[in-house]
Structure 1
Amino acid sequence: MELTPLAAAMLGLLLATWTGLAAWLAWRARARERAARTALVISRRLTAMIEESPAVPMLVRADGRIEGPDRLAAWLGLDHLPEFLSELDSGNSGLAPRELDRLREALRRTHKTAAPFSLALHPQRSSRSLAVHGSLADPAVASGGAALTWWFDFSSSQVELERLRADADRARADFIALIGLIEAAPMPMWFRGPDMRLRLVNGAYVEAVGANDANEVVAQQIELVETVEGRTAADVALQAHSEDEAVERIVPATIGNQRRSLRVSDLPLGEDGVAGYAVDIEDMEEQGRAFRAFREAQRSMLDQLSVGVAQFDPDGVIAFANQPFARIFSLPAPALARGLDFERFIDIARDKARLPEVRDFPEWRGQLRKWFVSDSAMEDAWTLPDNTHLRIVAQPMPDGSLVLVAEDRSEQLALSATRDTLLRTRTATFDSLFEALAVFAPNGQIQLWNRTFPSTWGLEEAFFDKHPHIDALLEQLGARLARPGQRTAIGEVVRAATLDRQHKSGRVLMADGRTLEFAGVPLPDGNGLLTVLDVTDSTKAEAALRERNAALEEADAMKTRFLANMSYEFRTPLTSIGGFAELLASGIAGDLSDQAKDYVNAIITSVERLSQQIETVLDLTQSEAGLLPMAQEEIALFAFLTRVVREREEAIEAKNITLDLRGDRSSGAITGDARQLARAVGNVLDNAIAATGSKGRVLVALQRRKSGVQIVISDNGAGMKPSELARALDGYRRPGTDEGKAGKRGLGLPLARQLIEAHGGRLEIQSEKGVGTTATIYLP
């Protein structure tokens, strides 16, 4: 059958439609297959993501049924997830009853009110920490009011959280302790914010600035440190903050009412601000000043020593050397000022010949360098080329420095040699002395003795070889003394010399008739010296002299009695002769011729002279015997001396002598016998007049002294030799006297001296042949 074109076209269209529909259906089937495969892949991916996610879902229905993966069962310590919520407590695993009750109560509230909840649960016998977040499930997930819970295992986060919490607690405690420590710190401390304003100060800061509390300091911004050179404390803190570097300085500040030195430190704390503290170093500064003063005083003192002292620092450079050290080693001052090291010091000393001569100098210098590291002090003796002997002491110090001491012992060695010579000389002299000598120690033991000592006491020399004690010596002497008890006196003398440091002496009689005189002398070294001398011969001579002296004294007394008796016997006939002569002169027996009158006047003159001589002899005798009576009356000296001079006007005018009397009434008065004192002064004046030639000059001067009165009588006569002056004072007639005119004998000066001494004064005479004589009378 033949199709029409329309039918063919319709059939073709139908076939095309059918083919298109078949193709569309085939494409739709493939699309669904691809969607199914995609959904399966997505489902598997979501399941894997849920399995790998940190949260595990669990669906809890209103009747208590639960749905969830086994992964949650593993978290709870169960083999598998149970069917009901109440089965999460399986006794030894799962949730504890108390934890399960909390979860059940939270789910019940969510089922009723749709309120979400969050819990932290801990499975039994597990270290896990589980967080549960629950809410009402979407109807698309589960209908009927089921609750969807999500479980999170935050065990590691919990540990970290607990660690952080512990760290925070510890940091909080440390911060509180730090705040307490800062508050209790004895030094002022503070904190500044980024604007350099004070925000925090401690109690020491408050006390230092005299504020009431820290709030007042912060409110008023009271600064501890005052402005120095135009920079405030905030300016210095800003510098530390901007440079991010600590700033430390020493500034003065007023603490209370005292000026103190503070070491202030500003410490930058990044963007937070600047912290600061101040340390009171006034005591340290004071100690530093005291140390520097002490060091200067010590160095000044070392300069005064004769011992050379130098100190080398740990680098071997001379830090100090006193003047004796520089002088001993001839060190130039400029080199010392620049700082001289040890090797250079050795070289300079060697060049100046101030070191001993050694064979290997470099090796010897290396040995000296080891002094710096020695464990103990080193001592050495150096003999220099000029025979100077040095004692060197090297003392290493703990800080590595070295103190070097150089002592010039040349003089000491010379003195030691001289001392040895003196000791040998002393020993030889000691043994050669006539006296017996022994030296005893304070403990009574004999130390030294000469060869005469044993023989003087009659002891064997071997007895002294063991240096016996004084008690043993006294025991040996007991049998050799005439009276054994006298040995106690010897022991007392030794004890007084050694212990009491006193000088005592004594005398003992030996059994053989000898007399020994002994004495104890304390020595400067604490020992005592016992000297013994045989005085037997001198004792006998002394006894003989004593007997002779007694005989002489008796003869002198007999002479005195004879002279006194004869003086009285002479006075009676002289008085009669003088009386009859005066009667004849008066004409009672008739007129006398001129020649007879001359004879009578001569008799009268001779009687007067002889009476005066007898009176002088009598007074001199009584004065020597101490029997001359002395009156006590007040004597005006100037009037008294004027009267004595006027009584001799006739003799002065007869020889045409110039007499100069000096003095005044300010000389005062003394107490004494005017008659006897007039005789004494008159006798001295008579001798001066007699010794002065015609037209001579005599001076009489009266002066008041602090110690008394001084009367000077001087002449320009012939004078006397020392021997003639001694004879005149002993009673011989003074040369130059005129017996016929002056009529004075040589007894006037001895009598004058005794009369002046009887008044407590003294007479001094100085004379020179051809110049004159000066007599000085001192009266108290």
Structure 2
Amino acid sequence: MHLNQAALVVIGLLLAAWTTVAAWAVLAARARQRRADASLRLARRLGRMVEEAPAMPMVVRVDGRIEGPARLAGWFGFETMPGYLSELEAGAHGGERGFDEYQLSLLSDAVRRTQKTAAPFRLNLTPCGSKRALGVRGHLADPQISPAGAALVWFFDFTESEEELRHLRAETAGARADFAGLSGLIEAAPLPMWFRGPDLALRLVNTAYVRAVGARTGEDVVLDGVELVETVDGATPRDIARLAQARHMPIERVVSATIGGQRRSLRVIDLPLGDDGVAGYAVDIEEMEELTRQFRRFRAAQRQMLDTMSAGIAQFDERRNLVFVNQPFLRLFNIPQAWVVDTPPFDRVLDRMRDAGRLPEVRDFPEWRRERQGWFLSREAREEPWLLSDGTHLRVVAQPMPDGGLLMMFEDRTEQLQLSATRDTLLRSRTATFDNLFESLAAFGPDSRVQLWNRRFVADWGLDEEFLDSHPRADALLARMAVKLRRPGQVATIGQVIEAATLERRQQSGRLELADGRYLAFAGVPLPDGNGLLTILDITDSQKAETMLRERNAALLEADAVKTRFIANMSYEFRTPLTSIGGFAEMLQSGLAGDLPERAKEYVGAILTSVKRLGEQIETVLDLSQGEAGTLPIAREAVAIFPLLSEVVHERDEALTEGGLTLDLRGTEAVGTVTGDPRRLRRAFGHLVDNAIAATGQGGRILVECTRRPDRKVQVVVSDNGRGMEPAQLARALEGLAISSDGRSIERRSGLGLPLVRQLIEAHGGSIEIMSEPGQGTSAVVVLP
């Protein structure tokens, strides 16, 4: 059969469509197979992931049925997952698997609440018979997983995390305990401590900080931001903390702060704590600073004191460098100050001394120097003498210091040794001198023991050398000396003299008579060294001479008394005939015996003048004799002194006119009165004016001045501008010898005036002073009370 063209086209189209549909079907089947394989692989991967996951799911349906993987059943202690939630109770399985009643009730209540309210829950459970810790997280299941309000519960194995958590809890508890202890320690610390937060504001302060700033509580300090340390050079404490935080290193500084109303020195440390903030604390170093200042002052005072010492001082430090020398050291070793400033080592100092010739001559100097270096390691002080080439003797003392240094002292003992040699020579000279003296000498110490004696002492008292060599006490020595005395009991006097010289430090003397008739004079003399010297001298010859002189003196005194009585008697005897002669002469002069020729009248006038002068001389001799005998009668009445002087001057107007003299009387009646004998005062001042008239030449001047002194005494001055007297002439005049007008011969006629004036003035309780110079005149100053 033949098909037409259109049929063939239709058939072809159908075949093509069928072929296309078949190919599509084959391709679709293959695609479904691939999707199924992929889903299976995905399910397997998801199941494997669930098996390997740290969390296991469990679906709890509304009727209590549960579904879960076998691994989760193993966590519960089962081989397979039970069918219902209630089958998880441990009591139904002997208590070795599942959950106890309490835990299961918590899980059941939480699941029912989630199923009803869709509220999630969290629990921590531990299966029985296992140490596994399970974290439970539950929520309402997605309808695609389990419809009809099932709950999806996830179980997490927190066993390892729980161990870590317990460890962390223990560490946290320990850290809290440490922090509490540290906080208590910081709170109880006496040092102010504080903590700044990241913003460098104060967060925490301790009680010491609160007391230091004078606040009430630490909260007030933190709230007000009260700083302990003040701003220094524009930098606040917060700026210093910021600088420490920026540098990531502590900053330490010493500042001053006011604590308790006092300025204290503080060492402040700011310690950065990373990003957490900055901690700080302050240490009160005021006492340390004060000790440091005291040490510096002590060292300065010590070095000043060492400069005043006569010994040279050199100090080396632990590195054996010279750190200090005093001025005597520089002078002793001729070292300039600038050389010491470089702190040279010990070896260089010895080399410098050697170059200057200030070390002793030694054979091996390097070995000698090494031995001296060993002084630094010695535990005890070393001492040795150095004899220098110029004869200088040095005493060297090396004292090791606790810090490893060395202190050396150089004492120049040259003069001391010379003085010692001189002292030995003086001691030998003293011994030789003592042994050759006429006196007996013995020196006693404060303990009354005899220390030193001479040979004369041993010979005079008959003592044994062996006895004296034992230095006996004074009482034992005096017991042996007593047998030599005429009266042995008088030896106690010597003991008193020794005691006065040694203990009382005063000199005392006395005399003794020996049994053989000799006389001794002894004395105790305190010595500068605290001892006492007993000196005994034989005065037998001088005692005899003294006795003779006393006897002669007594005879002279008796003869003088006889002479005085004789003169007194003779004065009275002379006065009676002299008065008769004067009376007869006056009668002849008055004409009772008739008129006399002119020559006879001259003779009578001469007789009257001589009688008057002789009467005055007799009166003077009588007054002198009575004054020497102490029997001069003195009347005691008020005497107006200036009128008395006026009378004395006017009585001598004729003599002044004849001599061509001028007399100046100064004073007034306001001078007042004195108590005395007017007749004898008139005689005393008359003699002074007469002597002034006799000693003053033609045209001379005489001054008589009467004044009242501040001590209420009356002073009378009689002076002239006459020839004056030499000291020897004045002494003779005071002894009663008058000097002639030419100054060469002695006139005995009127030489008793000055001695009489002196006796009369002294009898009135006054005094007289006579001053004279050749060519300048004489002045007599009389002072009356």
Matched, 1:180 2:187: yes
Q: 1:331 aligns with which of 325, 329, 335?
A: 335
Question: Given that residues 54 and 152 in structure 1 are in contact (C-alpha distance below 8 angstroms), is that contact kept between their aligned partners in structure 2?
Answer: no
Kindly state the Cα deviation for residue 385 of structure 1 after the two structures are TM-superposed: 3.4
Distance in 2 between residues matched to 1:616 and 1:533, nearest whole Å: 50
* Residue 290 (structure 1) shift: 4.0
In structure 1, the residue matched to 2:510 is 506
Q: Select 2:725's aligned residue among 702, 713, 719.
A: 719
CA displacement, residues 522-543 of structure 1 (integer Å, 9 cap, x when unaligned)? 3332222222223333333333
Q: How does 1:363-442 map to 2 (within 5 A)?
A: 363-442=367-446
> Structure 1 residue 745 and structure 2 residue 747: aligned?
no
What is the rounded CA distance, in whole Å, between the counterparts of 1:663 and 1:316 in structure 2?
A: 93
Q: Residue by residue, what CA displacement relative to the aligned partner does 1:462-513 show, whole Å, maximum 9, x if unpaired? A: 3212111222223323433333332333323323332333333333333333
The answer (yes or no) to whether the contact 2:440–2:537 under 8 Å persists in 1 is: yes
569, 576, 596: which is aligned to 2:573?
Answer: 569
Cα separation, 2, equivalents of 1:497 and 1:363: 59
Unpaired runs of 5+ residues, structure 2, are 1-28, 59-63, 65-69, 78-87, 115-119
Determine if the alignment matches structure 1 residue 730 to structure 2 residue 739. Answer: no
1:205 to 181, 187, 209: 209
Please tell me the residue identity of whatever aligns with 1:687. N
In 2, distance between residues paired with 1:280 and 1:669?
89
> How far does the alpha carbon of each residue in 1:86-141 deviate from its partner, in whole angstroms, 9 at most, with x for none?
59989xxx89xxx97866876887899899996787999xxx955366799x999x
Tell me which of 737, 756, 760 is aligned to 2:761: 756
Aligned length: 735
- 8 Å contact from structure 1 (residues 129, 158) kept in 2: no
Question: Among residues 131, 141, 148, which one is paired with 2:133 in the alignment?
Answer: 131
2:194 and 2:204 in contact (8 A); partners too: yes
Partner SS, residue 226 of structure 2:
coil
453, 456, 462: which one aligns with 1:452: 456
Structure 1 residues 550 and 325 mapped into 2: Cα distance closer, same or farther (>3 Å)? same
**CA distance change for structure 1 residues 778 and 44 in 2, over 3 Å: closer, same or farther?**
same
Q: State how far apart, in whole Å, the 1-side matches of 2:309 and 2:640 are.
A: 67
Indicate the RMSD between aligned Cα atoms, in angstroms. 5.1
Rounded Cα–Cα distance in structure 2 between residues aligned with 1:676 and 1:105:
159
Residues 1:130 and 1:552: Cα distance change in structure 2 (over 3 Å): farther
Q: Read off the aligned partner of 2:174 and give its amino acid letter.
A: D
Q: Residue 129 and residue 715 in structure 1: after superposition, are their counterparts in 2 closer, same or farther (change >3 A)?
A: farther
Q: Find the counterpart in structure 2 of residue 629 from structure 1.
A: 633
Other-structure match for 2:83: none
Q: Distance in 2 between matches of 1:300 and 1:631?
A: 78
Contact 2:90–2:101 (8 Å) recurs in 1: no
1:340 positional shift: 4.5
| CA spacing shift, 1:315–1:681, aligned 2, 3 Å | farther
Structure-2 change in CA distance of 1:322 and 1:149 (3 Å)? closer
- Identify if the C-alpha distance between structure 1 residues 595 and 459 changes in structure 2 by more than 3 Å, giving closer, same or farther: same
- Give the CA deviation at 1:283: 4.0
- What's the offset of the Cα at 1:598? 1.2
Deviations 1:316-368 (A, max 9, x none): 44433332222222222332345444444434444443333433333333434
Output aligned runs, 1:27-176, within 5 Å. Answer: 85=90, 131=133, 157=164, 160-161=167-168, 163-176=170-183
Contact kept in structure 1, 2:444 and 2:533, CA below 8 Å: yes
CA distance in 2 between counterparts of 1:704 and 1:119 reads 135
Within 5 Å, which residues of 2 pair with 1:269-418?
269-418=273-422
Asked if the contact 1:690–1:738 (Cα under 8 Å) also holds between the matched residues in 2, the reply is: no
**Bigger mean CA offset, 286-295 vs 376-385:** 286-295
Q: Give yes or no for the alignment of 1:472 onto 2:479.
A: no
Whether 1:553 and 2:567 are equivalent positions in the alignment is no
Q: Indicate the SS of the match to 1:479.
A: helix
CA separation in 2, counterparts of 1:739 and 1:585? 39
Map 1:521-532; keep pairs closer than 5 Å. Answer: 521-532=525-536
Matched to 2:560, the amino acid is: D
Larger CA deviation: 582-591 vs 636-645:
636-645
TM-score (norm 2): 0.77
Distance 1:226 1:544, change over 3 A: same
What is the aligned counterpart of 1:217 among 215, 221, 225? 221
CA contact (8 A) 1:702 1:712 kept: no
> Contact (CA 8 Å) 1:54, 1:153: kept in 2 or not?
no
Whether contact under 8 Å (1:713, 1:775) holds in the other structure is yes
What percentage of aligned pairs have identical amino acids? Answer: 52
Matches within 5 A, 1:1-12: none
Counterpart AA for 1:292: R
| Unmatched tracts of structure 1, length 5 or more | 1-23, 74-82
Aligned counterparts of 2:585 and 2:720: Cα–Cα separation in 1? 38
1:234 aligns with 2:238: yes
- How far residue 634 of structure 1 moved from its aligned partner, in angstroms, is 5.7
Find the aligned partners of 2:386 and 2:178 in 1 and give their Cα distance. 70
**2:200 aligned with 1:196, yes or no?**
yes
Query: The residue matched to 2:739 in structure 1 has which SS?
Result: coil
Q: 1:148 & 1:196 partners in 2: Cα distance? A: 48
Report the Cα distance in structure 2 between the residues aligned to 1:367 and 1:739, rounded to whole angstroms: 93
When structure 1 is superposed on structure 2, of 442-451 and 107-116 the one drifting more is: 107-116
Specify the SS of the correspondent of 1:387: coil
Q: How big is the shift at 1:617?
A: 1.1
